[in-house]
Amino acid sequence: MGHRALVAYRRPDRLYDLRYSHWGGAELSLVDAIGPSSPLANGAIDTTLFADSVARDRILTDFLDPCIYEALYLVSPNSGYAVDAFRVCWLEWGDGRDEGRGAILESRPEDDRAIRTWFRATKTTLADVVEMGVLSRRAAQVYLESRLCEERGAVVYTYRGAEGAGDD
């Protein structure tokens, strides 16, 4: 299965080139692995481009499927390969409905376990509350999104996919 990550390299024209990492979502391991001497994290990031010339706002809506990816990395080669890491949170409950709602939370490797634990516990509790009939799915999702935004500074988005994006 892997721990998939999408790695976006900022170009001089402010667009991004996207690459894939099969294990890069595990514990945000690429933060310290990407650098001027190892821009592809010593082979942890695929050499072939996943997509090129992508505007930043399209990374989330067209390429970052929250059901598939666990992490997003924004890399700035012109700033010494500075890396901003984000944990991807899937905001749906896996019953086949509306699976494209997600959120990204900026994170560092030392904070990542706490963020993942908090998110899983909150989402699991809300799923139980929905199952008991106390809240509707929609109300639970709105609550989860508001907690992520207000308490964790998350960016919530709806993944729509792009024609040809993510084809294996």
- How are beta strands 101-107 and 155-158 bridged, if at all? antiparallel
Can you tell me the distance from the alpha carbon of 140 to that of 123, in angstroms, rounded to the nearest whole number? Answer: 9
Q: CB–CB of 24/5 below 8 Å?
A: yes
Mean pLDDT of the chain: 92
pLDDT band at 2; cut points 50, 70, 90 = confident
User: From the CB of residue 22, how many other CB atoms can be counted at a distance below 10 Å?
Assistant: 14
CA distances from 154 to 27, 53, 84, 86, 145 (A): 18, 25, 14, 9, 8
Can you give the residue ranges of every domain in the chain? 5-158
Q: Is the pLDDT of residue 87 over 60?
A: yes
pLDDT of residue 92: 86
The stretch 51-74 carries a mean pLDDT of 96
pLDDT of residue 1: 72
pLDDT of residue 164: 46
- pLDDT (tens digit per residue) in 31-45: 999 999 999 999 999
Q: Is the pLDDT of residue 96 over 80?
A: no
pLDDT of residue 161: 87
The stretch 51-63 carries a mean pLDDT of 96
- pLDDT (tens digit per residue) in 113-154: 999 999 999 999 999 999 999 999 999 999 999 999 999 999
